[in-house]
Amino acid sequence: MAKIGFIGLGNMGLPMALNLMKAGHEVTGHDIFPAAIEAATNAGLRVDAQAAVQDVDIIITMLPNGKLVLDAYKVILAKANPGTLLIDCSTIDVADARTAHDQAATAGMLSADAPVSGGVGGAAAGTLTFMVGGTDAVFAQAQPVLATMGKKIVHCGSAGAGQAAKICNNMILGISMIAVGEAFVLAEKLGLSHQALYDVASTSSGQCWSLTTYCPVPGPVPTSPANNDYKPGFAAALMLKDLMLSQAAASNAGASTALGEHATEIFRKFVDTGHGGTDFSGIINEIRGKTA
Ligand code: NAD
């Protein structure tokens, strides 16, 4: 069993750290937010800023953005032992992820970018999907640890490839949710019932996750956030964050992503008008022009 430091004990990080602890690892957490520290302590996790980075085998970061990850790496790289395995599970810019890898290599550490999909429910259940960027040797070392927090661990390629996979996937998600929302709004105008459109599209070529798992109208998929007043789920602010990361990467790489760009603007308007905390499937109300 490994000694693991876990930095960032928020909505995702705390349940992930607890799953590592349940699997028998010796886990020490760190967070800067008093309520997160209290929740972790109450859940039985040891929290200690120094012990989370010194004399541990592995350090996992689960932070809101790339700047915070690079800031945390300054401390980690100064205090951790050479050879420590650093796994960043945050969703961050591909360029920041590559910088983090370069800095880790310079300091003699091993590193992987390993963003996740599966949300808070997947973090609690230990069923996350991890998208991993890094060398074969690092992946072999990280895989068993990630497997205690997830059910699918995919080696996507070299440094930054995990983040690349994450933002490409979420660009599809943002675009497809808008497409599904537009289809339901058009169906309403044409006098077609939600259930009829669902029954056809869910078994036809329009089938996709945004339709069959997060159906943006109440009824056809009882567990979708639309049935719970669009409570997240996956908040629109996080969708916008990931779309913006996709557009930054597209711009750096010279890729044309016209629909990704348009989806970003649609979600930006939704978030800017006070709906950042609404589930992203609530975008259908923006499309309908009567945002709740
Ligand atoms: P969160 O805001 O709930 O948690 C982040 C935690 O990091 C907070 O507790 C914060 O206090 C802490 N933190 C910030 N700066 C710190 C520092 N310098 N040192 C220590 N702790 C610090 O966010 P979350 O929902 O847990 O998301 C974390 C990451 O996972 C994000 O990058 C997000 O995009 C990604 N993600 C989230 C979801 C989701 O459904 N919430 C799904 C997939 C991926």
Q: Domains of the chain: which residue ranges?
A: 3-158, 164-290
pLDDT of residue 184: 98
pLDDT of residue 119: 85
Among residues 37, 104, 21, 44, the alpha carbon closest in space to that of 70 is found at 104
Query: CA-to-CA distance for 128 and 16, rounded, in angstroms?
Result: 9
Which ligand 1 atom is the nearest neighbour of the CA of 72? 18
In the reported structure, the alpha carbon of residue 10 is separated from the centroid of ligand 1 by a whole-number distance in angstroms of: 5
Query: What class is the 3-158 domain?
Result: alpha beta
Residues in contact with ligand 1 (CB, 6 Å cut-off): 7-13, 30-33, 36, 62-64, 68, 71-72, 90-91, 116, 119-120, 234, 238, 241
What value does the mean pLDDT take over residues 90-117?
Answer: 97
Helices of type H across the chain: 13-22, 34-42, 66-79, 94-106, 119-125, 136-147, 161-189, 194-201, 209-212, 236-253, 258-270, 283-288
Torsion of CA 169, 170, 173, 175, to 10 degrees: -110
Among residues 121, 123, 124, 102, the alpha carbon closest in space to that of 111 is found at 102
Topology at the third CATH level for domain 164-290: N-(1-d-carboxylethyl)-l-norvaline Dehydrogenase; domain 2 (1.10.1040)
Query: CA-to-CA distance for 48 and 252, rounded, in angstroms?
Result: 38
Q: What is the mean pLDDT of the chain?
A: 97
Sign of the CA dihedral with 237 first, then 240, 246, and 250 last: negative
> Count of CB atoms within 10 A of residue 111's CB?
26
- Tell me the pTM: 0.93
Two tokens at 28? 């020490």
> Do 3-158 and 164-290 agree at the fold level?
no
Q: Does residue 292 register a pLDDT over 60?
A: no
Question: Phi/psi at 260 (nearest 5 deg)?
Answer: -60, -40
pLDDT tens by residue, 43-71: 999 999 999 999 999 999 999 999 999 99
